[in-house]
Amino acid sequence: MTMTQSMAGKTVLITGASRGIGAAAARAFAEAGARVALSARNGDAIAALAGEIGKDAIAIPCDVSRYWEVAAAVEACRSAFGGIDVLVGNAGMIDPISPIDAADPDSWGKAIDVNLKGVFHGMRAALPVMKAAGGGTVLTVSSGAAHAPLEGWSAYCAAKAGAAMLTRAADLEGRTHGIRAMGLSPGTVATDMQRVIKASGVNPVSQVDWEEHIPPEWPARTLVWMCTPDADEFIGTEISLRDPAIRKQVGLA
């Protein structure tokens, strides 16, 4: 089965689908034959993207930090397409970039609400639907920040570390129910988030030349590949696009 046929008949819900990795993933899954439900706070952006993709895409405005909105998004996906086969937990934010001793507590908490609780909200809403259908795939967009502290990124690092552990927990609890849970650490990607990081001037990531960032289409293609049997050996783990062997398996340049 080729990548262009691999998702035929499947339904994918993507959070943070208005731009960057999320928007690229929406296009990649659609090209692979999937029906895609696009979720983000920016309703205009996801509506435009759904219009670009066509009849097999719907836009669902949603703030992942609010569980009831995520639950409603899953229900809208079920109503439109009959179920949900893949959840891509991609929504995230880098702010606040600040030392711990100067961080605004409300902004710090908002980052946890989006980057960690948002991942939980997606799983909590989607997993019962998947289990009832006999299984599904849960993909969390992770980060190297999940595994190493970076100056000024305490909220982002803490949340990503939590989301990585949450994905492992989903595997532990869900594998016998047909759940395939995995994380993807894409490395640095040429998105708006990297522009914010660059402008901050804080920690080594802000000093990375733009040309060194990978295009968002690379993690997008990898997310599609992770839904295929070729990725079964990585169930319950996190794969990194910094690994040349992974890039070769996915078929990236």
Give the catalytic positions in this structure. Answer: 156
By the 10 Å C-beta count (0-12 exposed, 13-18 middle, 19+ buried), 38 is classed as buried
Q: Which residues pair with 138 in a beta bridge?
A: 87, 181
Query: Can you state the percent helix, strand and coil of the chain, rounding each to 5?
Result: 55, 15, 30
Q: What letter represents residue 102's amino acid?
A: A
Question: What's the alpha-carbon Rg for the chain, to the nearest Å?
Answer: 17
Query: How big is the CA angle at 183 (ends 2 and 11), to the nearest 5 degrees?
Result: 50
Dihedral pair phi/psi, residue 160, rounded to 5°: -65, -35
| Strand (E) or helix (H) holding 137 | strand 136-141
Q: How far apart are CA 158 and CA 151, in angstroms?
A: 12
Q: How far apart are CA 106 and CA 104, in angstroms?
A: 6
- For residue 215, give the DSSP letter: P
Task: Return d(Cα 126, Cα 136) in angstroms, integer.
Answer: 9
Cα–Cα distance between 24 and 234 in angstroms, integer? 22
